[in-house]
């Protein structure tokens, strides 16, 4: 946000926020347009920018003179764009959707938009209409027909049903009202954009559970799942809250709740760097984002150290030093890569702040009903701020009365709005589905949190200053490691044909081993496992052979000799060994490949060790011809349980 800090934004957001129970969601991207320009190119451009949210199929509906032109394709937005170029939909009002299927197979019939059987309404939807079967049954009895397996079609027909029942003085007034009335009957979740054949310049949207944002333009307005869809056209945005319906025209919009209370819109200007969503000279976003890490790490630290350089400072925690001193325990919750960041944070906070930490998968925590001490601080980490399980874990912790904090990269996201306080990463938009710069920035911020909490307890002034110096040096060290990209590519080229990899590390390098394995498997589809190096002997050592390379993460600290012994155990069984380790150990370690990282403070070593792993995974995937930015079966933001 341009003008607001985390605290103020939280205030602005939280004041109006209606709490809803967490349910499951579709993960998809939607964009709708109404205005003075031709809708089609704006919608297609927006879909391309939203494609990271899901890429099974995509569709568009544009209102022409007397009918909708609907084009839908299974596959990527490029395939839709090619079909749209032939169909040439003309009109200034339209909606579109890129899908990650959960409900109904990946077929053209199930692809959004869904048009009501009377042809009056076209609708795109993120979410799950849980009671769609009963709505469908009711509508079939009334003569409405269905052509897809989706729940969404029940909603487009339900809107048509309510519209047909309204006294038709003017189509304009009935449209939004019919949407609102329909939503009163819907159980489940939705972010929707709807257009009506009778209303040439009107777009209606509503949100419950899935993000929906209005882009306020010059004689045009846009409705989308996130800002990236329209940031080229406008930076003025309104974040819709759950339970709100918006009725949009080219020159304005009105928001109300589905229970008909008026809502005062707060237009905010977002700070959006358009270069974040452009590839520039890079081949794909993952490569670009790996190389953006020095800048992302600088941004995570900017203005966050005390003048005397002995501790970190955060503006948005909303907790005084006194309150933080009473924290007896920290519970960290996240999913996927962000969960790995939590594991590193556990190590850092326990070591430097001496506060006991537990790490939970958000998806487990939310249903586990674990006993938690009353002075526990619940801390979630989420790049997108939209991961459904992390959001639900946060809500569950709040419901139980715990203080909550979040580290997130997404200003205005659901998690940013729900948490009591937090820290923005300022890493810039992460488009590649595999998290890279967000992960290292999360670790850096965790180290700063450990420092801050440590300095409120037993960490000395001198130790604080040493740690601040170490943190400040990280971006330059990362730049140096990135210079080895060609060397790491040559290793990847030689090893990409292997079918199994082990990633092994001890202490804070264990989560980095997990992350290295996750990165490799998700983008190259090579099977990989991360393990604590010493645990290897309790099972995984059975996998070691000439065909199973092990990637060892070595730190120069007191456990170095132990890790070296583990390397020997692998070598003795003819397993190829790739080591990521400090310069001074190079001679001592008998590795087949050795990637050097600088000798640094223990608190920042995990960040540096991550960079070669990202490059190894990236170049292996490229060598195997994978779609690095959009790996199969995945989507960037996991908003389904
Ligand atoms: C893997 C990856 C995912 C995410 C996970 C959580 O590269 O990106 O594992 O880390 O889906 O996402 P956020 O951080 O958005 O909550």
Sign of the CA dihedral running 191, 273, 474, 614: positive
pLDDT band at 53 (very low <50, low <70, confident <90, very high): confident
> How many beta carbons lie within 10 A of that of residue 283, not counting itself?
12
CA 240 to ligand 1 centroid distance, Å? 24
Whether 387 lines ligand 1, by a CB cut-off of 6 Å, is yes
Whether 404 lines ligand 1, by a CB cut-off of 6 Å, is no
Could you identify the atom of ligand 1 that is nearest to the CA of residue 415? 16
Q: Which helix (DSSP H) or strand (DSSP E) does residue 182 occupy?
A: helix 171-184
Whether 383 lines ligand 1, by a CB cut-off of 6 Å, is yes
Pocket test for ligand 1, best of 380, 383, 530 (most atoms within 8 A of CB): 383
- The predicted-structure confidence for 480-502, as pLDDT tens digits, reads as follows 999 999 999 999 999 999 999 99
Pocket test for ligand 1, best of 512, 638, 639 (most atoms within 8 A of CB): 638
CA 389 to ligand 1 centroid distance, Å? 11
pLDDT at 274 exceeding the cut of 80: no
Whether 382 lines ligand 1, by a CB cut-off of 6 Å, is yes
Residue ranges in 1-88 assigned as alpha helix (H):
6-16, 39-50, 77-87
Sign of the CA dihedral running 490, 496, 497, 502: positive
Average pLDDT over residues 351-358: 97
- The predicted-structure confidence for 204-222, as pLDDT tens digits, reads as follows 999 998 889 999 999 999 9
Pocket test for ligand 1, best of 225, 334, 335 (most atoms within 8 A of CB): 335
pLDDT at 10 exceeding the cut of 80: no
pLDDT at 426 exceeding the cut of 80: yes
pLDDT at 304 exceeding the cut of 80: yes
Whether 436 lines ligand 1, by a CB cut-off of 6 Å, is no
Q: Are 580 and 613 in contact (CB under 8 A)?
A: yes
**Residue of 120, 288, 630, 636 marked active site:** 636
Among residues 407, 436, 448, the alpha carbon closest in space to that of 424 is found at: 407
Residue ID of nearest Cα to ligand 1 atom 8: 435
The per-residue pLDDT for 640 is 62
Average pLDDT over residues 314-322: 93
Residue 634: burial class (beta carbons within 10 Å; 0-12, 13-18, 19+): middle
d(CA 603, CA 543): 32
Strand ordering across the sheet containing 252-257:
114-115, 121-126, 190-196, 203-208, 244-249, 252-257, 262-263
CA 299 to ligand 1 centroid distance, Å? 20
Q: Are 295 and 429 in contact (CB under 8 A)?
A: no
Whether 318 lines ligand 1, by a CB cut-off of 6 Å, is no
pLDDT band at 446 (very low <50, low <70, confident <90, very high): very high
pTM, whole model, 2 decimals?
Answer: 0.84
Residue ID of nearest Cα to ligand 1 atom 9: 336
Mean pLDDT of the chain: 91
Q: Are 55 and 77 in contact (CB under 8 A)?
A: yes
CA 53 to ligand 1 centroid distance, Å? 12
CA 149 to ligand 1 centroid distance, Å? 29
Residue 333 DSSP label: E
Whether 335 lines ligand 1, by a CB cut-off of 6 Å, is yes
| Phi then psi dihedrals of residue 256, to 5 deg | -140, 170
pLDDT band at 24 (very low <50, low <70, confident <90, very high): very low
- The predicted-structure confidence for 279-301, as pLDDT tens digits, reads as follows 889 999 999 999 999 999 999 99
Pocket test for ligand 1, best of 387, 518, 632 (most atoms within 8 A of CB): 387
Whether 435 lines ligand 1, by a CB cut-off of 6 Å, is yes
> How many beta carbons lie within 10 A of that of residue 105, not counting itself?
13
Q: Is 562 a catalytic residue?
A: no
Could you identify the atom of ligand 1 that is nearest to the CA of residue 335? 6
Tokens of 368: 């586990």
Average pLDDT over residues 354-378: 93
Residue ID of nearest Cα to ligand 1 atom 11: 336
Strand ordering across the sheet containing 329-334:
357-361, 329-334, 376-382, 403-408, 421-424
d(CA 287, CA 436): 9
pLDDT at 233 exceeding the cut of 80: yes
Whether 338 lines ligand 1, by a CB cut-off of 6 Å, is yes
Whether 638 lines ligand 1, by a CB cut-off of 6 Å, is yes
The per-residue pLDDT for 561 is 86
Judging by DSSP bridges, how do beta strands 329-334 and 357-361 pair with one another?
parallel
Among residues 134, 125, 52, 145, the alpha carbon closest in space to that of 431 is found at: 52
Q: Which residue has the higher pLDDT, 97 or 167?
A: 97
pLDDT at 120 exceeding the cut of 90: yes
Average pLDDT over residues 173-183: 92
Whether 430 lines ligand 1, by a CB cut-off of 6 Å, is no
Average pLDDT over residues 363-380: 91
Q: Is 636 a catalytic residue?
A: yes
- Residues forming a β-bridge with 376: 329
Q: What are the chain's domains?
A: 4-272 (3.60.20.10), 280-472 (3.40.50.10490), 483-632 (3.40.50.10490)
Residue 305 DSSP label: B
**Residue of 3, 18, 28, 137 marked active site:** 28
d(CA 513, CA 553): 7
% of the chain at pLDDT higher than 70: 94
pLDDT at 557 exceeding the cut of 50: yes
């Amino acid at each position: 946000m341009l003008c607001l800090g985390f605290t103020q934004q939280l205030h602005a957001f939280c004041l109006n926020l209606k709490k809803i129970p967490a349910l499951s969601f579709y993960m998809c991207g939607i964009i709708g347009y109404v205005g003075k320009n031709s809708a089609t190119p704006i919608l297609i451009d927006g879909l391309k920018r939203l494609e990271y949210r899901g890429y099974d199929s995509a569709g568009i509906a544009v209102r022409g003179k007397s009918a909708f032109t609907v084009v839908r394709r299974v596959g990527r937005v490029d395939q839709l764009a090619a079909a749209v170029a032939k169909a040439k939909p003309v009109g200034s009002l339209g909606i579109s959707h890129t899908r990650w299927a959960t409900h109904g197979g990946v077929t053209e019939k199930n692809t959004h938009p869904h048009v009501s059987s009377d042809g009056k309404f076209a609708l795109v939807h993120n979410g799950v209409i849980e009671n769609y079967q009963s709505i469908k049954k009711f509508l079939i009895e009334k003569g409405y027909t269905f052509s897809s397996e989706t729940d969404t079609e029940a909603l487009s027909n339900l809107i048509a049903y309510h519209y047909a029942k309204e006294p038709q003085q003017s189509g304009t007034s009935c449209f939004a009202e019919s949407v609102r009335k329909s939503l009163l009957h819907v159980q489940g979740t939705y972010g929707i954009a709807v257009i009506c054949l009778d209303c040439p310049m009107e777009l209606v949207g509503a949100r419950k559970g899935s993000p929906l944002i209005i882009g306020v333009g010059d004689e045009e307005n846009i409705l989308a799942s996130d800002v990236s869809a329209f940031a080229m056209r406008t930076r003025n945005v309104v974040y819709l809250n759950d339970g709100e319906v918006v009725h949009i025209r080219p020159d304005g919009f009105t928001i109300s709740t589905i229970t008909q209370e008026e809502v005062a819109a707060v237009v905010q200007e977002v700070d959006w760097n358009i270069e974040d969503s452009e590839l520039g000279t890079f081949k794909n976003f993952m490569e670009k984002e790996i190389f953006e890490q020095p800048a992302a790490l600088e941004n995570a630290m900017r203005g966050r150290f005390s003048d005397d350089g002995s501790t970190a400072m955060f503006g948005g925690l909303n907790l005084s030093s006194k309150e933080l001193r009473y924290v007896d325990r920290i519970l960290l919750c996240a999913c996927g890569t962000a969960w790995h960041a939590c594991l590193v944070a556990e190590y850092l906070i326990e070591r430097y702040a001496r506060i006991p930490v537990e790490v939970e998968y958000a998806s487990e925590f939310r249903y586990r009903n674990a006993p938690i001490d009353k002075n526990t601080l619940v801390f979630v980490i989420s790049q997108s701020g939209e991961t459904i399980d992390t959001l639900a874990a946060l809500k569950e912790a709040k419901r139980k009365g715990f203080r909550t904090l979040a580290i997130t990269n997404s200003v205005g996201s659901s998690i940013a709005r729900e948490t009591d306080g937090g820290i923005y990463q300022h890493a810039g938009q992460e488009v590649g589905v595999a998290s890279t710069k967000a992960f290292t920035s999360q670790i850096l911020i965790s180290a700063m949190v450990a420092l801050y909490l440590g300095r409120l307890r037993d960490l000395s002034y001198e130790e604080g200053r040493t740690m601040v110096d170490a943190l400040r040096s990280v971006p330059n060290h990362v730049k140096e490691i990135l210079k080895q990209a060609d060397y790491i590519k040559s290793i990847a080229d030689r090893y990409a044909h292997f079918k199994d990899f082990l990633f092994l590390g001890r202490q804070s390098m264990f989560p980095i081993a997990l992350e290295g394995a996750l990165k490799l498997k998700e983008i190259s589809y090579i099977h990989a496992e991360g393990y604590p190096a010493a645990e290897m002997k309790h099972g995984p050592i059975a996998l070691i052979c000439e065909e199973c390379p092990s990637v060892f993460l070595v730190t120069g600290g007191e456990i170095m000799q132990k890790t070296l012994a583990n390397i020997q155990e692998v070598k003795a069984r003819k397993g190829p060994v790739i080591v990521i380790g400090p310069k001074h150990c190079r001679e001592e370690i008998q590795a087949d490949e050795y990637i050097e990282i600088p000798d640094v403070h223990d608190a920042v070593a995990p960040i540096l060790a991550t960079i070669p792993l990202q490059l190894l995974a990236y170049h292996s995937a490229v060598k195997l011809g994978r779609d690095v930015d959009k790996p199969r079966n995945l989507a960037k933001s996991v908003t389904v349980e």
